[in-house]
Structure 1
Amino acid sequence: MSNIIPHKYEISVSERASLKGQKPIAVWFSGLSGSGKSTLANLLEKKLFSEGFHTYTLDGDNMRCGLNRDLGFDQESRNENIRRIAEVCKLFLDSGLIVIAAFITPKKIDRNIIKSTLGDACIEIFVDTPIEICEKRDVKGLYKKARQGEIRNFTGVTCEFEKPTAPDLHVETQKEEIEESIRRIFQYIHDRIIEK
């Protein structure tokens, strides 16, 4: 690393953000598979887009089809998966975008790395849905495979999900309509993304 010297480019983050008329933030959804993270991320991006904001969404399966396709699902690989995604989010923030991330993110240590990498621009939203509800939804059939032993290291079945203790927002999809969740999330982040 001693021979690596990052080049300093002349266009600043604030200049890129100003051109877009917004402040860059990272909205990070965490929760079990089937909790509703990707659905909320998609609806939030549509709402932001319709209001004229510049956004991009990163999703677990999508990242593993490209940048992270070389990673497995052992703990070391899962940690590296999250580390890479946090670095990609940081690049999007540097470009002045609002980045939305939907990842299980089961470990406190990984969530701390995300916050350390992204700083004050990171908003953590915990999509707190009981595993029983997630298993009933199971649109990808993953819980069934995990229960049958076909998938190892599956969060909620064979790996623990360490619930966030102090997220910026706590969403319970089994207790409120999704439109209400999006309204609350949008209201929470709106003032932080308006350039002043």
Structure 2
Amino acid sequence: MALLGCEEKCGNVSIPYPFGIGANCYYDSWYEIVCHKYFSPPKPFLRRLNLEVMEITLKSGLFNYQMLTVGTSPLNICTGGVVGNSSSTQRNTSVDLGGSPYRFSRDYNVFMVKGCAGGVVMMNRRNKILAGCASICPKNYSIVQNYCYGVSCCQTPIPIEYSLDFYQIGFDDEAIPNSYTCMAAALMADTFTAW
């Protein structure tokens, strides 16, 4: 529940304490939510990290847990067909939760790549590879599927030994073919089946 006198929802998302919208409605600045009402319906964002909040789950009882589901944009790259002249569109190449109370869950996320351009890696702050995926497409392959096993889509779990307060995504440029093609890569909820 929200604190007395505080907004309980932003759009379709419930905002329970310790999160909150407005002064004196949240535990500290890491839990401050801004409700952007120019979206329809309005969308909540964590103010300090500028990440869209998709869902807040607080469970108590035999199995206590707190989960914050956020939306991040995939890293996208498209090649124009000439080696050395590739045009790319890239956004959110890294996500940094350093200093915050949040971590990306290894239990609920997978690293996913979609497209036909080759290999992609997820790295930590020191550029150490945490996970990698390669996706291929046979010639004249039509994509009609709801699975992700290496043909036009690849997914892999995050190694258990890593605490994910930061990740960055990089494409293996040498694996990108000469023909026009696009790929996208992101850390995603492991229940997500399609983009």
* Superposition TM-score tier, normalisation by shorter sequence: under 0.3
TM-score by length of structure 1 reads 0.25
Larger radius of gyration: 2
Higher relative contact order (CA 8 A, sep 6+): 1
More strand by share: 2
More helix by share: 1
TM-score by length of structure 2 reads 0.25
